[in-house]
Amino acid sequence: MKTNPAVDSAKLSLLLNELRLPAIQVMWPQFAEQADKEGWPAARFLAAITEHELAERDRRRIERHLAEARLLPGKTLETFEFEAVPMISKAQVMAITAGDTWLEKGANLLLFGPPGGGKSHLASAIGLALIETGWRVMFTRTTDLVQKLQVARRELGLEAAINRLDRFHLLILDDLAYVTKDQAETSVLFELISARYERRSMLITANQPFGEWGRVFPDPAMTLAAVDRLVHHATIFELNVESYRRREAIERKRGPGRPPSYATPANVAS
């Protein structure tokens, strides 16, 4: 009994669509042609098209995760000037982005330093590297998230809003210090920190060291409790360097032809 190739192709397209295999649906004729020319055994043909499907799924997943992460554009580990921040070990940062034990344990990363020192760049770059290895990340200014959580509290949905953030293995809170010293704001921030404690990881950037967090949390007991939860399982980086933006402005004034100068790190033991 003769078969009709056109009918078979149409039927296969319908079956692949039903099975939700869009990459195979598009590419199988090309792979089949190559297999016929080169005399591939059936197992090799099936392996090739399924590998292609899995690669496409990974690509689409990363695209979705990048879209939801809201990272800072153009901020990568490749573009971060590690030589300008000698107190930060590039090897340690690369190990953090390559490893997964700390994320599985809900450990935290804390980045301290003056404005313009590269904290946000490094935080976003770490987030990007983790997304590329399969983790889900969300980057947000702390004030923006706190305001959303306050709205959720007024609508009696704070717990649900915090639970929805559980889908992110790493939550990056940028510029913690800019949260106003207001009981309503700091209480939702504290509830978020408490809810993720030892369950989901956080990366926090802040201009002030812990000793000045009383400016963020109005209640000393709340300050102590927040710090305790954040540092219990944490890696802390201090970027004690002159502002990138200020340094770039100085270099522009110098004009071309002069060697770049980097700030001398402050408070770094030799």
Q: Is the pLDDT score of 3 beyond 60?
A: no
In this predicted structure, what is the pLDDT of residue 73?
A: 95
Q: Write the burial class of residue 221 (CB in 10 Å: 0-12 exposed, 13-18 middle, 19+ buried).
A: exposed
C-alpha torsion angle, residues 62, 65, 70, 72 (rounded to 10): -30
Average pLDDT, the chain: 84
Q: Is the pLDDT score of 172 beyond 90?
A: yes
Give the residue-averaged pLDDT of 241-267.
Answer: 47
Name the more confident of 266 and 13.
13
**Could you report the per-residue pLDDT of 36-73, keeping only the tens digit for each?**
899 999 899 899 999 988 888 888 889 999 999 999 99
Q: Is the pLDDT score of 174 beyond 70?
A: yes
**Could you report the per-residue pLDDT of 191-229, keeping only the tens digit for each?**
999 999 999 999 999 987 777 776 677 777 888 888 889
CB 138, CB 69: distance < 8 Å: yes
- For the domain made up of 71-254, give the CATH fold: Rossmann fold (3.40.50)
* Global pTM value: 0.75
Q: Is the pLDDT score of 96 beyond 70?
A: yes
Please provide residue 137's backbone torsions phi and psi, each rounded to the nearest 5 degrees: -135, 150
In this predicted structure, what is the pLDDT of residue 264?
A: 32
Alpha-carbon gap, residue 99 to 91, rounded angstroms:
12
In this predicted structure, what is the pLDDT of residue 125?
A: 97
Most confident stretch, 22-31, 156-165, 211-220: 156-165
Alpha-carbon gap, residue 246 to 261, rounded angstroms:
12
Domain ranges for the chain: 7-67, 71-254
Name the more confident of 180 and 32.
32
Q: Residue 29 — very low, low, confident or very high, per pLDDT cuts 50/70/90?
A: confident
